[in-house]
Amino acid sequence: MLEHRTSSERIAVQDPRQITAYHAHIYYDPATSRREAALLRERIGELFPDARLGRWHDQPVGPHPQAMYQIVFRPDQFGPIVPWLLLNRCGLTILVHPETGDDYRDHAEHALWLGAILSLRLDVLTGRI
């Protein structure tokens, strides 16, 4: 970890090379927006065949407070995929986070939100209740 010094304090700077992958969690409502989520998923699969499309979760799972599926992609795919999601998210909320080996920090501190920011159930990642 690199350190950056300013006046009298030290700030730890993390090396982005520790990112092994990215996750994009596509949130939807099974009753009202599953169709949009399915269209988005289909288009992502066509345009980015190297991205892995995860299972549908019509109920909250893990730290995720509502229905979602995830897309896993390599760091070198961030440039093409994330701007495409920015412009084509169909009004859906999307959480993009790195995979660094620290699930809590990846979801809580390293998160990039497209659309509304949802309250994640972070206690699931820490073991705290």
81-106 pLDDT, tens digit per residue, is 999 999 999 999 999 999 999 999 99
Domain ranges of the chain: 20-123
pLDDT at residue 2, as a whole number: 54
pLDDT at residue 55, as a whole number: 97
Q: What is the reported pTM?
A: 0.87
pLDDT digits (tens, 9 = 90+) for 30-82: 999 999 999 999 999 999 999 999 999 999 999 999 999 999 999 999 999 99
Q: What angle do CA 40, 119, 127 make, to 5 degrees?
A: 110
Please give the structure tokens belonging to residue 17: 């090379």
CATH of domain 20-123: 3.30.70.1240
Residue 127, burial from CB neighbour count under 10 angstroms (0-12, 13-18, 19+) = exposed
H helices of the chain, in order, are 34-47, 78-88, 103-108, 123-126
Please give the structure tokens belonging to residue 26: 């596509």
How does the average pLDDT of the chain come out, rounded?
91
Q: Which long-range contacts (CB under 8 A, 24 or more apart) does 16-20 make?
A: 16/75, 18/100, 18/101, 19/75, 19/98, 19/99, 19/100, 20/75, 20/99, 20/100, 20/101
